[in-house]
A = this chain, B = another copy of it.
């Protein structure tokens, strides 16, 4: 419906456990009409940064994400890229990433998000942000975060659409990562009352959504109606 209205559309995800290809397949199975080049995700955003700065990454990521970095030179690494590596977050692998960083004159840690934890069917799981903090403390450095809520992440989504922030609207369920991040970048942002949404988000001390909708369909209705006014 968004697409039929001639509006440009972009899916912004912090998914770092799989390639965009896998992510799109999942959404297609759920009935979304979506292709890989409509997805903004941390791994390709990181690849752009790495290429621009001639960085060769040591990867501490999920096995299924590795193909996103296929095109990059990874020999003799001069930075570490950390994603939601799940079971790859072993003591051995964390030590290896640490040794790469501590061996660099100017240690660069690029993190594909700053999330604390997420829920899976078998319970809560620690997210990439937790291991980012671990390596930050170990090396006394600050990671560069690629992914929501980083301003740069939303900016690259806008750039890909060739749209100005004030012309765009973000719809998401996460008050800080979605709404806060988009607003910092100059976009308006709606929070959907589904998924991660909790009623207390509407009294969040730092972030105030530009509006609330009960679900994604309602958001689309409102936007399309505005368009035809």
A residues within 8 Å of B by Cβ?
Answer: 85-92, 94-95, 98-99, 102, 116-117, 123-126, 129-131, 133-140
Contact = CB atoms under 8 A, between A and B. Distances in A.
Nearest to A102: B124
Contact of A99 (B90, B116, B123): B123
Judged by DSSP, the binding face of A is helix
5 contacts: A116-B138, A126-B134, A130-B137, A131-B134, A134-B134
Nearest to A131: B134
Nearest to A89: B91
Contact of A133 (B117, B125, B133): B133
B98 A124 contact: yes
Nearest to A85: B91
Contacts of A117: 98, 102, 138
A134 to B, nearest CB: 4
Contacts of A85: 91
A92 to B, nearest CB: 8
Nearest to A125: B95
Residue of A87, A90, A135, A137 with most partner-chain B CB within 10 A:
A137
A92 B123 CA distance: 11
Name the 5 nearest CB pairs between A and B, nearest first. A133-B137, A134-B134, A89-B91, A130-B134, A130-B138
Contacts of A137: 116, 129-130, 133
Contact of A91 (B90, B116, B133): B90
B124 A99 contact: yes
A203 B85 CA distance: 40
